[in-house]
Amino acid sequence: MKKIVQYLVLLLFFIPAISKAQFENLRDSVVQLYGVVMTADSLVGIPAVSIVVKGQNRGTITNNQGVFSIVVLKGDVVEFTHVSYKPKVVAIPKNLEGNQYSVVQLMIADTVYLPATIIRPRPTAAQFARDFANTKVDDDDYEIARKNTSVAKRRALIQSTPADGREASNIQLRNVATKAYYSGQTPPQNIFNPAAWMEFIEAWKRGDFKKKN
């Protein structure tokens, strides 16, 4: 028991020192990276440049003048990307003295060549009218939603979609409750129920009782 108390006293003595050393080491590795991103040819600030620390979910973007500031760690790799410029990578030195690191990042425009598109008119107005009338136009979101919610589509989904566990359990529970409710007596027959006959006639018209191949 005495040895355990001695170990606890030693731990209580060394834990603050270890925690303080780790905190000092972490604080020394934190770097404030700041600077400006400009074009390489005219030295104009580039706005909306994405600045991301590789391997981590941290980043920022430049303001309207191309100025940025972000907190990184020594040894991190920072990537500068923009849709109109070639990406650049900056590595923070591991042996950096101090906790600030400034850069002036120059970016080169990235030219993208698209394939040529030649637009030719129809030879005659009659051919244009014929092609315009026969051109198939894809359904928009409204038309797709209307088709998916039509009566025929919903009926087909009801017949083809199997019941899940919750629906099957509810059906079984309703059957058990019905049997318990009419226990000891004759359950009512729907042969004289007008609503049941109307539902039967509607199902007959729809063809629900036709033989399916």
pLDDT, tens digit, 9 for 90 and up, residues 40-83: 988 999 999 999 999 888 899 999 999 999 999 999 999 999 98
CA separation for the pair 81, 113 (Å, rounded)? 19
Please say if the pLDDT value at position 140 is more than 70. Answer: yes
Please say if the pLDDT value at position 203 is more than 90. Answer: no
Q: Is 21 helix (H, G, I), strand (E, B) or coil?
A: helix
What is the separation of C-alpha 76 from the centre of its chain, rounded to a whole number of angstroms? 27
Q: What angle do CA 203, 206, 211 make, to 5 degrees?
A: 90
Long-range CB contacts for residues 2-8, cutoff 8 Å, separation at least 24: none
Shared domain for 146 and 207, answered yes or no, is no
Please say if the pLDDT value at position 125 is more than 90. Answer: no
Q: What CATH number did the domain enclosing 9 receive?
A: 2.60.40.1120
**17 vs 108, residue with greater confidence:** 108
Structure tokens at 148: 């998916």
- 81 and 87 Cβ atoms separated by less than 8 Å: yes
Shared domain for 96 and 137, answered yes or no, is no
Per residue in 46-57, pLDDT (tens digit) is 999 999 999 888
Q: Write out the residue range of the structural domain in which residue 147 sits.
A: 123-161
**How high does pLDDT run on average in the chain?**
81
- 75 and 143 Cβ atoms separated by less than 8 Å: no
Shared domain for 102 and 129, answered yes or no, is no
User: Within a domain: residue 115?
Assistant: no
Poorest-confidence range of 4-18, 77-91, 106-120? 4-18
Domain count, the chain: 3
**pLDDT for residue 194:** 74
Please say if the pLDDT value at position 164 is more than 50. Answer: yes
- Name the E strands within the chain: 30-39, 50-53, 59-61, 67-73, 77-82, 85-91, 100-107
CA separation for the pair 161, 155 (Å, rounded)? 10
- 10 and 2 Cβ atoms separated by less than 8 Å: no
What is the separation of C-alpha 171 from the centre of its chain, rounded to a whole number of angstroms? 37
